[in-house]
Amino acid sequence: MSQSNTYKAAGFGASVPRGTRPGIVVVDFSYGFTDLQYPTASDAAAQLEKTKRICDAARAKGYPVIFTTISYHPGELDILPWLKKATGMRALVEGTRLVEIDVATGIQPEDAIVVKKGASSFFGSTLNALLTGAGVDTVVVTGATTSGCVRGTVVDAVQSGYNVLVPHDCCADRAKAPHDANLYDMDQKYADVTDSDDILNWLDSL
């Protein structure tokens, strides 16, 4: 049995229903993940441009646009277990340029910024409260990295009761294999993986 048939036979890959109140969550498009002078970054120029289009369209219709960034206090660096495994993340210290949202996203003063300490944008943060307060029923997730913080956010989003959409051309990763594998898996189990044009057309239709 082929891979696609195996997943289909197991009941995976159904389409996600789309609500009427979207929210855009842009995961970790901070300079530490977008500026190639930093070793933690990947080339995300095209993904940033397409994410900006989605954010601009959502904002123009009054839908919330929320950015996330990983930012550590110096006192956390020698304590948190993730930083013992992923030591490169130790550079993401509060007050540094690495934790600032890349201006190429088109971030605006009215956009909320959620500070997080791990992969999921929901864990230990205000994200769920912000989405609930805005009446969001469908979350569009973009950002970096596809196999890490985007995936962690997508899994927690659907577990928190949201329909989830992931435009693949708005997600960046350091290598193609984990990027592709995680998009496939998210599409089968947690979200609809689509593209930015589809998201823009959907936003326009609301």
Q: Which residues are catalytic?
A: 149
Contact 162, 136 (CB under 8 A): yes
Helices (DSSP H) in 148-195: which residue ranges?
Answer: 151-159, 176-189
Contact 143, 51 (CB under 8 A): yes
Count the neighbouring beta carbons within 10 Å of the beta carbon of residue 49.
15
Give the Å distances, CA to CA, from 39 to 31, 46, 48, 74, 93: 11, 19, 18, 19, 15
Determine which helix (DSSP H) or strand (DSSP E) holds 112, and give its type and residue range.
strand 112-116
Q: What are phi and psi of 116, to 5 degrees?
A: -130, 165
Q: Which amino acid is at 79?
A: I
